[in-house]
């Protein structure tokens, strides 16, 4: 995150609903021009946080700061609310033309006719729906409607753009196309953006930083790379798709934050020797891990390298395990290969690789875990 004054900040921000506390955030700061993704399971508080940031829902305690100044509650928040725009998962268009819909925010702010027309046309063009201006909003496809909804929000040139799972209801091609156009627009306009999503790919594509929420609390905030490969705890790890959490005990410290650890729980697989227990784990460990700590090694499935059969001495610094393929399951563009090497390891390989190594249940394989891809976190 670049140094400088945060454009948007929450401090000790709490929201209660129906007697229960649904959001409790000691501090989150968003830098000007930054795109922040909020990820987390359903009910984590993402939507609630977005409503809080929009000025529509004042917090039960704590404060929201915009450019350093406190945002008041109630009618006085109007000034702030007019500098923010929000898009929801459903397009929520009005029963009128696309043009009128996109013009809504401008009409609310009493823009003069010519300026309004200009801005609406510009916004429509940005999202490639200029040709739909005169159409009734009721006749739009899902993708077109969501484009109109985003165009409507962007037409007022907001200083903060908030999106609540904006692509969740779209089919993949529509989602792809809109994501591209939105990314392009945000880059061009430099609009500070906070958006909630379930989709890690979206978070990676659009976001400068990712915040992981659970039960109303912030579990981790950092770049996508940080969150995906150096999760703060096992909850974040499993949520962001680290499917391999291997129990390990750290036995020795290496240089630059590296450790050597012994894998636990491996039993030997028929015909194959018990796993080699000496590993190098570089790329660090979570703070607080030291020699003797018991932890979990995180390695993402796409970082697991699989090669056909064979043993052989591991060159220094490489971690090799021998195992048998237990199952091969297609998952999106990849194949998920479950490998039994005394402990279960999941690898994601492309179809190309799977065919090249003739991977199928029962094949003998070698699993390679590169130290740079390994990260140790505490258990529990």
Partner 1 sequence: MELIWQGIREAFGLIFGFDAEIWRISLLSLRISGTATFISLLLGVSAGTALALTRFPGRRVLVSLVNTGMGLPPVVVGLFVSIFLWRNGPLGALGLLYTPTAMIIAQSVIATPIVTGISLAAVQQLPPKLRLQILALGATRWQMVRLLLREARLPLLAAVMAGFGGVISEVGASIMVGGNIKGSTRVLTTATVMETGRGNFDVAIALSVILLLLTFAVNYLLTRIQQAERPR
Which CA distances in Å does 232 have to 184, 211, 225, 240, 288? 31, 11, 12, 11, 11
What whole-number distance in Å separates Cα of residue 91 and Cα of residue 171? 14
Contacts of 238 (CB under 8 A, 6+ apart): 245
- The least distance separating partner 1 from the CB of residue 88, rounded to whole angstroms, comes to 6
- The least distance separating partner 1 from the CB of residue 189, rounded to whole angstroms, comes to 18
What whole-number distance in Å separates Cα of residue 220 and Cα of residue 236? 8
Q: Which is nearer to partner 1, 63 or 90 (CB)?
A: 90
What whole-number distance in Å separates Cα of residue 360 and Cα of residue 366? 13
Q: Which is nearer to partner 1, 162 or 240 (CB)?
A: 162
Q: Which is nearer to partner 1, 134 or 287 (CB)?
A: 134
| 3-class secondary-structure state, position 282 | coil
Q: Which is nearer to partner 1, 198 or 262 (CB)?
A: 198
Q: Which is nearer to partner 1, 109 or 118 (CB)?
A: 109
- The least distance separating partner 1 from the CB of residue 143, rounded to whole angstroms, comes to 18
Cβ(85)–Cβ(156) under 8 Å? yes
- The least distance separating partner 1 from the CB of residue 40, rounded to whole angstroms, comes to 20
What length is written for the chain? 380
Strands lying side by side in the sheet with 344-349: 305-308, 364-369, 319-331, 334-340, 344-349
Q: Which is nearer to partner 1, 54 or 244 (CB)?
A: 54
Q: Which is nearer to partner 1, 134 or 362 (CB)?
A: 134
Direct distance between the N- and C-terminal alpha carbons of the chain, in angstroms, rounded to an integer: 29
Q: Which is nearer to partner 1, 62 or 105 (CB)?
A: 105
Q: Which is nearer to partner 1, 158 or 261 (CB)?
A: 158
What whole-number distance in Å separates Cα of residue 49 and Cα of residue 59? 10
Binding site for partner 1 (CB under 8 A): 51, 54, 56, 75, 78, 81-82, 84-86, 88, 90, 92, 94-97, 104-105, 108-109, 134-136, 139, 152-153, 156, 162
Beta partners for residue 29, in sequence order: 9
Report CA 325 to chain centroid distance, whole Å.
Answer: 30
What whole-number distance in Å separates Cα of residue 120 and Cα of residue 140? 18
- The least distance separating partner 1 from the CB of residue 209, rounded to whole angstroms, comes to 23
- The least distance separating partner 1 from the CB of residue 111, rounded to whole angstroms, comes to 11
DSSP 172: H
Cβ(24)–Cβ(218) under 8 Å? no
Which CA distances in Å does 230 have to 26, 281, 323? 22, 13, 26
- The least distance separating partner 1 from the CB of residue 294, rounded to whole angstroms, comes to 46
- The least distance separating partner 1 from the CB of residue 79, rounded to whole angstroms, comes to 10
- The least distance separating partner 1 from the CB of residue 249, rounded to whole angstroms, comes to 50
What whole-number distance in Å separates Cα of residue 81 and Cα of residue 354? 53
């Amino acid at each position: 995150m670049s140094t400088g004054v945060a454009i948007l900040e929450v401090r000790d921000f709490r929201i209660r609903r129906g007697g229960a506390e649904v959001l409790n955030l000691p501090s989150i700061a968003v830098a000007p021009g930054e795109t922040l993704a909020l990820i987390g399971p359903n009910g984590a508080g993402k939507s609630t946080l977005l409503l809080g940031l929009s000025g529509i829902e004042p917090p039960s305690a704590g404060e929201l700061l915009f450019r350093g100044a406190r945002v008041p509650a109630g009618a006085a928040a109007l000034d702030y609310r007019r500098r923010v725009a929000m898009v929801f998962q459903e397009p929520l268009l009005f029963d009128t033309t696309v043009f009128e819909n996109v013009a809504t925010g401008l009409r609310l702010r009493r823009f003069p006719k010519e300026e309004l027309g200009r801005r609406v046309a510009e916004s429509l063009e940005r999202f490639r729906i200029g040709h739909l201006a005169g159409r009734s909003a009721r006749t739009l496809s899902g993708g077109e409607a969501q484009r109109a909804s985003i165009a409507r929000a962007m037409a007022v040139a907001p200083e903060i753009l908030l999106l609540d799972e904006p692509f969740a209801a779209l089919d993949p091609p529509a989602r792809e196309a809109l994501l591209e156009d939105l990314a392009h627009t945000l880059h061009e306009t430099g609009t500070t953006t906070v958006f909630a999503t379930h989709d890690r790919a979206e978070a990676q594509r659009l976001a400068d930083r990712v915040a992981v929420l659970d039960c109303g609390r912030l579990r981790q905030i950092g770049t996508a790379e940080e969150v995906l490969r150096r999760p703060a705890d096992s909850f974040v790890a499993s949520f962001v798709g680290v499917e391999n959490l291997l129990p390990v005990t750290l036995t020795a410290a290496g240089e630059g934050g590296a450790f050597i650890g012994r894998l636990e729980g491996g039993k030997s697989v028929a015909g194959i020797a018990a796993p080699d227990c000496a590993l190098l784990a570089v790329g660090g460990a979570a703070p607080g891990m030291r020699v003797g700590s018991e932890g979990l090694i995180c390695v993402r499935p796409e970082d697991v390298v699989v090669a056909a059969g064979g043993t052989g001495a591991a060159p220094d610094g490489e971690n090799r395990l021998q195992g048998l393929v237990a199952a091969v399951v297609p998952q999106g563009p990849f194949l998920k290969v479950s490998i039994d090497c005394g402990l279960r390891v999941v690898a994601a390989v492309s179809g190309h690789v799977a065919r090249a190594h003739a991977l199928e249940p029962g094949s003998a394989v070698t699993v390679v875990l590169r130290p740079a891809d390994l990260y140790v976190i505490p258990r529990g």
